[in-house]
């Protein structure tokens, strides 16, 4: 079975992430979305909230699992018996950061490849923080995120008021 891990903060999942998942779900038998607690970022949603929005938004793909994890990505990928790490590339700005991470992971787990998927052009400007900022300031982000995430954002903003 060919398993790939798609790691990220997903705070929250956007249509950009869905784009990458729709492209890669055809290439692997199973994709594990690993929702990571990134200590360098202040999260809006808890890991469990992110996980449940992802589960709801990926129902149309039948080979997706969602897990939360903390720790070293390389160890997690090995434990899951995955053969690949999936990362999306939007612009050249992503490339430098991604290349360093891929090279580091190659040293830690040489048997695993990082697969880069080029984002569809309509999504290259989409980021989780952009979506959060616009939504918090009253912007309509419904075209940038799946409905479950839009509802989650609306609810979160209501709670914060
Ligand atoms: N569409 C839309 N947005 C995209 C995207 C796409 N195709 N690809 C990336 N992004 C955005 C994300 O929304 C996110 O936006 P934000 O910064 O506004 O939140 C940003 O690009 C990058 O975030 P993400 O993909 O979630 O990665 P990250 O930088 O938060 O974390 C990990 C990357 C989780 C893979 C990395 O931190 C990790 O491996 N952590 C585990 C610890 C470890 O092993 N460290 C050593 C690594 S070598």
Every domain of the chain and the residues it spans: 3-160
pLDDT category at 161 given cuts 50, 70, 90 is: confident
Q: Could you tell me if the CB of 114 is within 6 A of ligand 1?
A: no
The matching CATH number, chosen from 3.30.2320.30, 3.40.50.300, 3.40.50.10860, 3.40.50.620, for 3-160 is 3.40.50.620
**In 3D, which of 119, 136, 102 has the Cα closest to residue 19?**
119
**Residue 90 annotated in active site:** yes
The pTM (predicted TM-score) of the whole model is: 0.95
**Residue 17 annotated in active site:** yes
Please say whether the dihedral angle defined by the alpha carbons of residues 75, 107, 26 and 7, taken in this order, is positive or negative: positive
For 46-83, write each residue's pLDDT tens digit.
999 999 999 999 999 999 999 999 999 999 999 999 99
């Amino acid at each position: 079975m060919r398993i790939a891990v798609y790691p990220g903060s997903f705070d929250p999942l956007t249509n950009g992430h869905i784009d990458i998942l729709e492209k890669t779900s055809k290439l692997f038998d199973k994709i594990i979305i690993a929702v990571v607690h990134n200590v360098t970022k202040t999260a809006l949603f808890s890991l469990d909230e992110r996980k449940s929005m992802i589960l709801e938004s990926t129902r149309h793909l039948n080979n997706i699992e969602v897990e939360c994890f903390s720790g070293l990505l390389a160890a997690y990928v090995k434990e899951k018996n995955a053969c690949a790490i999936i990362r999306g590339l939007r612009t050249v700005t992503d490339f430098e950061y991604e290349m360093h991470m891929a090279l580091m992971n190659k040293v830690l787990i040489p048997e695993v490849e990082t697969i880069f998927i080029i984002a569809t052009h309509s999504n290259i400007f989409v980021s989780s923080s952009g979506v959060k900022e616009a939504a918090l300031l009253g912007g309509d982000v419904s075209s940038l995120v799946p409905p479950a995430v839009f509802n989650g954002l609306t609810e979160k903003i209501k709670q914060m008021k």
